[in-house]
Structure 1
Amino acid sequence: MNADDSLTDDDAVGRALSGDLVAYEALVSRYTPIAHRTAFLLGAGDEAEDVVQEAFVKAYRHLRSFRRESPFRPWLLRIVANETHNVTRSRGRRADLSVRLEGVREPYTPEDPQDAAAAGDRSARLLAAVRSLPDREREAVVCRYFLQLSESETAEILGCPIGSVKSRTHRGLRRLREEVDRELL
């Protein structure tokens, strides 16, 4: 572990504001994985790396406007979400939503190839169902369940009240349940 890993977000932001690029690099290193997952899951697809890079550049440029009493992660992910929205809007179509499991292991790996195929098929169907949700519901479900963000972090990232996050998540999960029920019939 290097010395930059021990910096708190607040210390790193403070040092970055004073011109310490190594401190900002610590933030970039710390938050690149979740920023990439956020961009990818919100629809950036193959452009996720570009979105993340642009988000970190914008975050650095606007670091002086960051409220130091607030957590850095939701502020950064809001920038990532906005950049993703800009990319998908400029494309004129919604990007294909896929889960990137880079470096993540499943808690259960089936020994039987038939079980593995069935698990892969279930994952693909779930992703297709999530992909088919209306944008607002998809974004809320992705933030809450794929990125495991709290309701308040999701609200901050999506720029909406917590009540909207709750209702969008509820509606999205209801639609997913209905889709699963239809498939079982």
Structure 2
Amino acid sequence: MRSGDLDAYAELVDRHAPVALRTAVLLGAGADAEDVVQEALVKAYRSLGRYRDGAPFRPWLLRIVANEARNHHRSAVRRGAREQGVPLPPELLDPGEQVADRQRKEQLLAAVGRLPERLRAVVVCRYLLELDEAETATALGVPRGTVKSRLNRGLSRLREQLPTTEWEADRV
């Protein structure tokens, strides 16, 4: 891939594009998620020389996607044109994690969306993208301890916002 083999890069893009798109949507890119991912993929290609041999590709790519989503969000706020309440398209959700109660899922996603950006990013990476702590730290460019503390604060805020049943309390 580093030697300029576009087919090798295309294979990596095909493999990681769905999770990159979910990442962009869940980190606030909304309707512009595809543009954010495309820009991130171009930047990743241009940055292949800085990619560390042996390092996992997915967290490295998702860090670029997260940075692009953050940049997009900041520029949208500056323009005053930030889109409000863009619902998460069902096809972007992991079908293996479908929640039986659609209304409850929408409430949860709305609550996650109301979290401050730093907390939301960690919760999204850990639970919606199913990254481990190390991958989350790499994707967000923060120390592993920061992932743990932000995750703890984010989950606490979610517990405050959402009524839980006994079954759900064990899962959160």
Partner Cα distance (1:87, 1:47) in 2 = 9
Compute the displacement of 1:158 (Å).
1.0
Query: Of residues 119, 122, 145 in structure 2, which corresponds to 1:137?
Result: 119
Q: CA deviation at 1:106?
A: 5.7
Q: Deviations over 1:121-154 (max 9, x none)?
A: 1111111111111111111101100000001111
**Please, which runs of 5 or more residues in structure 2 have no aligned partner?**
165-172
Shift of 1:96: 3.6
Name 1:105's counterpart in structure 2.
95
Percent sequence identity is: 55
Give the 3 Å change call, closer, same or farther, for CA 79–120 of structure 1 in structure 2.
same
1:175 match: secondary structure: helix
| Aligned mate of 1:55, from 40, 50, 60 | 40
Secondary structure class of the residue paired with 1:148: coil
Tell me whether 1:86 sits opposite 2:71 in the alignment. Answer: yes
The aligned counterpart of 1:27 is 12
State the structure with bigger RCO (CA 8 A, min sep 6), 1 or 2.
Answer: 2
1:173 pairs with 2:158: no
Q: Which amino acid aligns with 2:134?
A: S
- Per the TM alignment, residue 95 of structure 1 is displaced from its structure 2 partner at its CA by 5.6
Q: Give RMSD over aligned pairs.
A: 2.2
Instruction: Give per-residue Cα distances to partners, 1:81-117, cap 9 Å, x unaligned.
Output: 011011010000476464333174366786xxxxxxx
Structure 1 runs (4+) greater than 2 angstroms displaced: 93-101, 103-110
State yes or no: 1:155 paired with 2:140. no
Contact 2:30–2:83, Cα closer than 8 Å, also in 1: no
Structure 1 residues 18 and 108: alpha-carbon distance in aligned structure 2, compared to 1, 3 A threshold: closer
Change (3 A) 1:158 1:95: farther
CA contact (8 A) 2:99 2:105 kept: no
Offset from partner CA, 1:33-54 (integer Å, 9 cap, x none) = 0000000100001111011111
- Name 1:3's counterpart in structure 2: none
> Which structure has the larger Rg?
1
1:70 aligns with 2:55: yes
Q: Secondary structure at the match of 1:149?
A: coil
The whole-number CA distance in structure 2 between the counterparts of 1:159 and 1:169 is 15
Following the alignment from structure 2 to structure 1, what is the Cα–Cα distance between the partners of residues 90 and 144? 28
Q: Which residue does 1:115 correspond to in 2? A: none
